[in-house]
Structure 1
Amino acid sequence: MSTTETATAAGSGRNATETFRKKQGTGATGVDQARVDAVARDVLSAMHDVIRRHRLTYAEYDALKAWLIRVGEDGEWPLFLDVWIEHVVEEVANADRKGAVGTIEGPYYVPGAPEFTGEGTLPMREDEPGTPFLFQGTVTDLDGNPLAGATVDFWQADDAGFYSQFAPGIPEWNLRGVCRTGDDGTFKIHTVKPAPYMIPHDGACGALIEAAGWHPWRPAHLHLKVAAPGRQLITTQLYFAGGDYVTDDVAQAVKPELILDPVPAASGTGEEVTYDFALDPA
């Protein structure tokens, strides 16, 4: 069977949940009781206001309860939160940055990808489908000084819109890699252009999309985490000018500063683009 035939929301949800649990297990989880109290009260108050404003019926309440149970059963809490909530968390968290512009991480990041320095090609299948694509640039501080040894952690969907480790039949590190910048702060990453894709929609999140009359599409994009010692890590996504769904991304993650305008590659094969990252001090 092809990847398209076998990928499911439940399978993707399980993988996303397990990946998040591993990530959460490595970080501090200190709780400020007063802050939990304040945030939880405001969230509940907002929900109460919605119920009153829309005069929610018991039938609608029961439908909501059933749907919330299904979200958990399908393992889709990471997907739900990353698609419809994370873009506001990111907006607040990065409001004071002066350098590179961030956006959501999404549910498909996996640490530990293969590394190379300066210039390299992402792991990919023999005859990987898609237009060859060179993504290059320089990592600097806010004054424009190049940062040697910075890491550009890069991941993306393939030409069919699927991510390795989240859809069956794809090699483990396909289209994932970490490039360390050279002494001049530059990087060159050879890959293929990704495709737009529908978020997994045969589960609970898809049921919400269908019931509300929304669409499930994300525009084609590249994912990056860029970091250097003494600098703030930036997590972002980059999109393609004129691409489908750039203006109505289901995850509301597109920003004007993050839209690429590729040109024909100097090599004569495929396309290329230059995009630089200025990192804020830690």
Structure 2
Amino acid sequence: MTDITTEQATAAASGAAATEQFRTKRRSETTAADAARVDTLVSELLTAAHDIIRRHKVTYAEYDVLKSWLIQVGEDGEWPLFLDVWLEHVVEEVANAEREGSKGTIEGPYYIPNAPSLAAEATLPMRDGEAGTPLLFQGQVTSVDGTPLSGATVEIWHADDDGYYSQFAPGLPEWNLRGAVSADEQGIFRIHTVQPAPYQIPTDGACGTLISAAGWHAWRPAHIHLKVSAPGHQLITTQLYFKGGSHVTDDIASAVKPELILDPSPAGDGKSREVTYDFVLDKA
């Protein structure tokens, strides 16, 4: 993992870490490219780009700006960020169109495998006095036929109260707010954490340049990332958001779905919140 030593998270450091993580993931996969499929997809992508150039009469000055920007995206290590923010939600929509169980959404660039294994009721690793509203996130994992999935794995990760992810920003413990929870024999889990904050994707790199030039905002709503799996069932990758939260209706990554919005209620002394959300997995 790229060492981030600056005092603030930067696009270059975060992008380098995301790129390195993707390369590690890619090396572990052996998917062979189908030549006919590559020909079809790339040819149609280029045809669409040619059509845009013709319809909008793109000038050489604009073309050179595009080339310069594309080079900068690579130098900043921001291809994972760019693709995950602006394209992944459509790939996910197509890939999971036939699922009967829980809704999925994008993984994003900040997933790290092999998080610490935790019991069915667990507190995520966090700093002493971790900022943010304490949150109990609980639920049950079942199959589409209603069968509880004993020992299902609920991987969870999210940003802290400042909007930063461990291993992608300086000063955070390695596994801060990350864990892999094993549900009990009834598929039930209870996870103690803190409610994350909305955050801007990095804006000091090439993606930020695009956002500024287009007059867009860079905000993602507060969300919890999850990967839920069980033997004999399809893994679901998703994010859960918070009702009434900032940018739930205009997420820059277009990843919010109505089924993924949580509505926590006050708990305990009123300073904490809790919410129940169940996962239904399709058979493999």
* Bin of the TM-score, shorter chain as denominator length: over 0.9
Task: After superposition, give the CA deviation of every residue in 1:226-255 in whole Å (9 maximum; x if it has no partner).
Answer: 000000000000000000000000000000
- 2:217 is matched with 215
- 2:195 is matched with 193
C-alpha distance in 2, partners of 1:6/1:260? Answer: 30
Q: Secondary structure at the match of 1:41?
A: helix
The code of the aligned residue for 2:23 comes to: R
Work out whether 1:253 is the aligned partner of 2:245: no
The code of the aligned residue for 1:129 comes to: A
Question: Out of 267, 270, 273, which is 2:272 matched to?
Answer: 270
Q: What percentage of residue pairs aligned between the two structures are identical?
A: 69
Work out whether 1:135 is the aligned partner of 2:129: no
Task: After superposition, give the CA deviation of every residue in 1:94-136 in whole Å (9 maximum; x if it has no partner).
Answer: 0000001000000000001111121000000000000000000
In the alignment, structure 2 segments of 5+ residues that lack a partner are none
**Quick check: 235-244 or 26-35, which moved more?**
26-35
- 1:69 is matched with 71
Work out whether 1:144 is the aligned partner of 2:146: yes
Question: Out of 167, 170, 178, which is 2:169 matched to?
Answer: 167
- 2:57 is matched with 55
What TM-score results when the alignment is normalised by the length of structure 1? Answer: 0.98
Structure 1 ranges of 4+ moved more than 3 A:
266-269
Q: Secondary structure at the match of 1:239?
A: strand
Q: Secondary structure at the match of 2:189?
A: strand
The code of the aligned residue for 1:262 comes to: P
The RMSD of aligned alpha carbons is 1.2
- 1:112 is matched with 114
**8 Å CA contact retained: 2:7, 2:170:** no
C-alpha distance in 1, partners of 2:30/2:142? Answer: 29
Question: Out of 182, 185, 188, which is 1:183 matched to?
Answer: 185
- 2:43 is matched with 41
Work out whether 1:281 is the aligned partner of 2:266: no
C-alpha distance in 1, partners of 2:111/2:207? Answer: 19
C-alpha distance in 1, partners of 2:35/2:121? Answer: 47
C-alpha distance in 2, partners of 1:185/1:112? Answer: 21
- 1:83 is matched with 85
Task: After superposition, give the CA deviation of every residue in 1:169-210 in whole Å (9 maximum; x if it has no partner).
Answer: 000000000100101110011000000000001000000000
The code of the aligned residue for 2:229 comes to: A
**8 Å CA contact retained: 2:151, 2:184:** yes
The code of the aligned residue for 1:278 comes to: V
Task: After superposition, give the CA deviation of every residue in 1:114-159 in whole Å (9 maximum; x if it has no partner).
Answer: 1112100000000000000000000000111110010000000000
Per-residue deviation at 1:29?
A: 2.7
Work out whether 1:10 is the aligned partner of 2:15: no
